[in-house]
Amino acid sequence: MKDVREALMVGRNTEGKLIRRPLSPFMIGSAYKPQLSSMTSIFHRITGVALGAGAVLLTLWLVSAASGDGPFSIVQAIFGSWIGLIILFGFTVALFYHFCNGIRHLAWDAGKGFDLPDMHRSGAYVIAATIILTVGFWAIALFLR
Amino acid sequence: MSNDPAVHIMRSQLGRARGLGAAKSGLHHWWAQRITAIALLPLSLYFVISVIILDHATRQQVALYLGEPWNTVLYLSLIAAMFYHLVLGLQVVIEDYVHNETVKLATLLIVKGGVIFCALASAVSVLKLAL
């Protein structure tokens, strides 16, 4: 053993056999069953990273608007195309999910909602709220403008 | 499994932790992530509403909107909170998944530099449109 920290990587599985602990991100599926708790958690991270890409798109939009009519019309045309709208739809899902699940995380940080039934219920609320907010946003954006 | 691991280090947990250095700025990172998250609750709702308002707006209409003092300030606040929150989140993801120290350091520097660049570009663009 070269690195003393390796000692912390040794654990026992449910059969009591000594194993090397699995390292993220390849745990769900091989070491753990997919569950609502792990899925809402990894989806929070995935949407967070996706929103990073969305922040780059917001930057592009603002910079093009500040640059002139030419660049702005190009960016607007890309966002308005069907592929652009699909990407923007994805970002609204990511934003509303990360927003709702973020509130769930803040409640946990305050020490609330840790009981398993509460956690499952709040997870279901997050998924429902994401769908409602996304559908509501696009209904307003597409039909009521 | 070919490499069955085994513990053969006779050291206490305290002995292992000693000499590994301080925990650095972990607590500040945790608080900053929560505070920016709370700030982003109203700011992201404002952003979503502004997107609906600016749907199909011309460049002049965007400039006029961002020129309203409240909108200028709210957009600058959004940019500050969002990119700060983003850099903190991406840092955690990189630290979790990149295990090689050199690659980790290089990735962190590139990603953090990129996020700061985007934040500055966004803020300058908002100011240029507004002023």
Domains in chain B, please, with CATH? Answer: 24-130 (1.20.1300.10)
Q: What is the least distance, in Å, from the CA of B105 to any CA of chain A?
A: 18
Q: What is the mean pLDDT of chain B?
A: 88
* Interface contact B48-A18, CB threshold 8 A: no
**Would you say residue A28 has pLDDT above 80?**
no
Instruction: Choose among B125, B43, B87: nearest CA to A67.
Output: B125
Which residues in A lie closer than 8 A to residue B82 (C-beta atoms)?
55
Rounded-to-integer distance, Cα B77 and Cα B66, Å: 13
**A1-16 pLDDT tens trace:** 566 777 778 888 777 8
Contact A112, A97 (CB under 8 A): no
Rounded-to-integer distance, Cα B19 and Cα B47, Å: 47
- For a pLDDT cut of 90, what percent of chain B falls above it? 61
**Would you say residue B2 has pLDDT above 60?**
no
* Interface contact A49-B90, CB threshold 8 A: yes
Q: What is the least distance, in Å, from the CA of B76 to any CA of chain A?
A: 12
Q: What is the least distance, in Å, from the CA of A120 to any CA of chain B?
A: 22
Contact A73, B60 (CB under 8 A): no
* Runs of H (alpha helix) within A68-110: 69-80, 82-109
SS3 A12: strand
Instruction: Give residue B19's pLDDT band: very low, low, confident or very high (50, 70, 90).
Output: confident
Task: Report pLDDT for B1.
Answer: 46
Q: How large is the average pLDDT for residues A109-134?
A: 93
Tally Cβ neighbours within 10 Å of residue B114: 14
Task: Report pLDDT for A26.
Answer: 65
Instruction: Choose among B41, B53, B72: nearest CA to A104.
Output: B41
Report which residue type is found at A114. F
**A46-68 pLDDT tens trace:** 999 999 999 999 999 999 999 98
SS3 A75: helix
Rounded-to-integer distance, Cα A81 and Cα A89, Å: 12
Q: Give the ipTM.
A: 0.81
**Among the listed ranges A31-35, A118-122, A129-133, which one has the minimum average pLDDT value?**
A31-35
| Residue owning tokens 């991100």 | A25
Hey, is the C-beta of B82 within 8 angstroms of any chain A C-beta? yes
* Interface contact B9-A7, CB threshold 8 A: yes
Task: Report pLDDT for B24.
Answer: 65
What kind of fold does domain A35-143 have according to CATH? 3 helical TM bundles of succinate and fumarate reductases (1.20.1300)
**B68-88 pLDDT tens trace:** 999 999 999 999 999 999 999
Task: Report pLDDT for B45.
Answer: 93
Which residues in B lie closer than 8 A to residue A72 (C-beta atoms)?
59, 62
Rounded-to-integer distance, Cα A74 and Cα A76, Å: 5
Contact A67, B122 (CB under 8 A): no
**Would you say residue A30 has pLDDT above 70?**
no
Tally Cβ neighbours within 10 Å of residue B9: 11
Task: Report pLDDT for B56.
Answer: 82
**Would you say residue B36 has pLDDT above 80?**
yes
Which residues in A lie closer than 8 A to residue B7 (C-beta atoms)?
7, 10
Cα–Cα separations (whole angstroms), residue B58 to A73, A75, A89, B62, B108: 9, 12, 21, 6, 37
Which residues in A lie closer than 8 A to residue B59 (C-beta atoms)?
65, 68-69, 72
Q: When comparing pLDDT for A114 and B39, which is higher? A: B39
Backbone angles phi, psi at B58, to 5 degrees: -80, 170
Q: How large is the average pLDDT for residues B101-112?
A: 94
